[in-house]
Structure 1
């Protein structure tokens, strides 16, 4: 901006902190509609204004150097407040410019480009033209992947610079040269542009379209009963009609079609996306929900994504119910992979938290530092943890454990109830409640019997254990029927069958453990002895831990065999 301003004999304003603090606050906010939250089986068109804020600046010549101030202050012979400083527009000058002034929706006057072209429009035109040139170069050199990646990074950088120009004019707290009149004018004009586009779509009867959601520079248009081909045709017509009502370079671009789609709340939606008419297989596209967020464990995103895909593809709630209940039973029976149940939250430093804060990353760091002061994570590093079972009434923060601790201590069990009721079910309920389904009732229908095998009692006598060690299974290890006697009466009548089944189960577990140990030894390069692995990204580590847990009940199974 300074390179463009200097040849035009402009000197940039340098406001002090006190001047920035005295500037009035922005009054305009972007248009973000509350969507009609439900499941849409019809086509949803997504149309987006291409670089709306930079286009508004260029089209209407909004700049520091072209702004005459608020209409209420024009015509007065005295100085008036303008951004961080003051401004005075002589009445005779205003009379000369009376036919070359544009008024923004919030009452700010700007001169047209025919009188004086602003610095910001000049700068943004250069940036956007350069971006077009770089994108054209990407097409010419698409065979060179390295060059294509570099050019893609450059065009993205140019796009971001253009988009943050508005933020430069509106950042009244930390900005270098804020001017609330310019910033408010850009936002209010963009809002008016989107509102005009929405009104045009809703009032044109031949399209039969209705806008169900709008957000800053985009709108979602519902077409009832339209096929995919008709949706693409109407979407292109809407884009051309809206673009024709706005000055260049303001352009509405038809992006994609969602068929079907779920609009949850503002900035949270998911659907099957078609970007071209020739595209046969849709792409799962989600924004703002748990499938694309990092604040939940991977299991939440996987179960939610699979459930939504079943809803889109089958429209059969019974299939979704069976799938969710199967996943819940895997958790309750301890068959789910721990790798999918690990949270990872950012550590902000020991002095960044308020006193008494219950933050898992901070709690684990305190334990690690108490053992070894060098083990404190870096600021910004993500600390992995899981939630385990504890005695009733214990605060949740005390149930936080490092994954490596759970892998090494077979007495610790993952808290399946917490993962299901607090992590998996709420996101599912937010989606499926829109179609009148109570997801929590699916969990309530599941049996509450958990299979918990104890280790041999002589091992427990030598050391203190948790309460889970003293539970024995209520299921027969052969036929899985409920029993209070280890092996049920029906299987007791077939001792040879029992011996074959139990011996085969023990041998399979030992074989699987042996194969996984070989994998670990090959990975570490040490064939003679196994090195303790600590890589939480390795799936073999968790498989080996699960097999070792299952093998821990081998003495109990052998004890049952000795009874025959």
Structure 2
């Protein structure tokens, strides 16, 4: 929007769409607003597609900031919902009350939650988890298909479909799948949850590394790439700990559970990424370990 002939940069103003509504998640607001600004600024749909695909890829590989996936709703109290109502704030309040009745949110308080992955066919209201539960359980991951197909893309499709663009095809190009195969490795139930993707190039395959990546340079190229990724993840974890230590004023910052702090989620994401790379390296075949200097 231009307010005067001398104004060089337009101002984005919206009314009635998801960028100004409070019932969505920040990721949906950001992807729609950035897409519209990109479209009106350059008029190039390919730039919009690259930006949307980048966000979808981050969602699929788990690198999207967790705080961008939180929904918030007002809690109306135990008498404010009809019997059987599928309201996440009410479900969360009941779950909290079963553990500690003093921790139940007050009537009128806004409750935040994230829809996490669960068994197929499970009601979404049963998959809502609070930020505190996400901090306590590192195994909880976002429901990727739900966020992509029912949160992020529908508002974008309502706008871009006027130009003949089907954004759901962009999600199909990401190639995300929930297929899993049984693989006898260490790690408890995790041995049943291996994705059919190469850890380096993302190509379909049953093994952790595809034949092309494992055979390139006798496996030395794959080892170098994995060790570099592990080093970068370790550096990111150390940087987050330095920020938290300077904020808290002591070295016990890992005990901080301030879910409103973005550094907390950055630190947890970096720690999970570092752990995943470590587990991937330790589960490689023995002849790979002979080339790694621990």
TM-score (norm 2): 0.87
Q: CA deviation at 1:449?
A: 4.1
Q: Could you tell me how far apart the structure 2 residues matched to 1:473 and 1:420 are?
A: 19
Alignment of 1:163-182 (within 5 A): none
The separation in 2 between residues aligned to 1:452 and 1:552, in whole angstroms, is: 20
Give the match for residue 551 of structure 1. 274
Specify the alignment match of 1:307 in structure 2.
Answer: 35
Displacement, 1:561? Answer: 6.5
Counterparts of residues 451-462 of structure 1 (less than 5 Å) = 457-460=185-188
Between Structure 1 and Structure 2, which shows a larger proportion of helix residues?
A: 2
Question: Counterparts of 1:405-420 in structure 2 under 5 Å?
Answer: 405-420=133-148
Q: Say whether 1:539 aligns with 2:267.
A: no
Match of 1:482 among 177, 180, 204: 204
Return the alpha-carbon distance in structure 1 between the equivalents of residues 61 and 223 of structure 2. Answer: 24
CA contact (8 A) 2:185 2:283 kept: no
CA 1:309 to 1:559, structure 2 compared with 1: closer, same or farther past 3 Å?
same
**For residues 279 and 453 of structure 1, do their structure 2 counterparts lie closer, same or farther at Cα, with a shift above 3 Å needed?**
farther
Distance 1:290 1:539, change over 3 A: same
After superposition, the CA RMSD in angstroms is 2.6
Partners of 1:407 and 1:323 lie apart in 2 by: 29
- The answer to which structure has the higher strand fraction is 1
Residues 31, 52 of structure 2: 8 Å contact kept = yes
Residue 79 (structure 2) aligns with: 351
Distance 1:563 1:403, change over 3 A: farther
User: Are 2:246 and 1:518 aligned?
Assistant: no
Structure 1 residues 286-323: Cα deviation after superposition (integer angstroms, max 9, x where no partner): 11111111110001110000111122112222322232
Number of residue-to-residue matches in the alignment = 285
In the alignment, the residues of structure 2 paired with residue 519 and residue 451 of structure 1 have an alpha-carbon distance, to the nearest angstrom, of 38
In the aligned structure 1, how far is the partner of 2:77 from the partner of 2:284? Answer: 53
Q: Say if 2:14 is the partner of 1:292.
A: no
Shift of residue 405 of structure 1?
1.7
The 1-side partners of 2:182 and 2:43 are apart by 43
Distance 1:531 1:510 in 2: 15
Q: Could you state the TM-score of these two structures normalised by the residue count of structure 1?
A: 0.47
For the pair 1:396 / 2:124, whether they are aligned, the reply is: yes
Matched, 1:508 2:266: no
Name stretches of at least 5 consecutive residues in structure 1 with no aligned partner: 1-272
Pair 1:422–1:469, CA change in 2 (3 A): farther
Q: 5 Å matches for 1:5-84? A: none
Per the alignment, residue 115 of structure 1 pairs with: none
Over alpha carbons, which structure has the higher Rg? 1
In structure 2, relative to structure 1, the CA distance for the partners of 1:454 and 1:379 (3 Å cut) is: farther
The reply to whether residue 424 of structure 1 matches residue 152 of structure 2 is: yes
Matches within 5 A, 1:90-129: none
Is the 1:499–1:561 Cα contact (8 Å) retained in structure 2?
Answer: no
Whether the aligned pair in 2 keeps the contact of 1:456 and 1:556 (CA below 8 Å) is: no
Decide whether the 8 Å contact of 1:456 with 1:555 is kept in 2: no
Change (3 A) 1:431 1:488: closer
Say yes or no: does 1:498 pair with 2:222. yes
Q: In 1, Cα distance between the equivalents of 2:70 and 2:194?
A: 28
Q: Does 1:386 align with 2:114?
A: yes
Out of 338, 354, 376, the position equivalent to 2:104 is 376
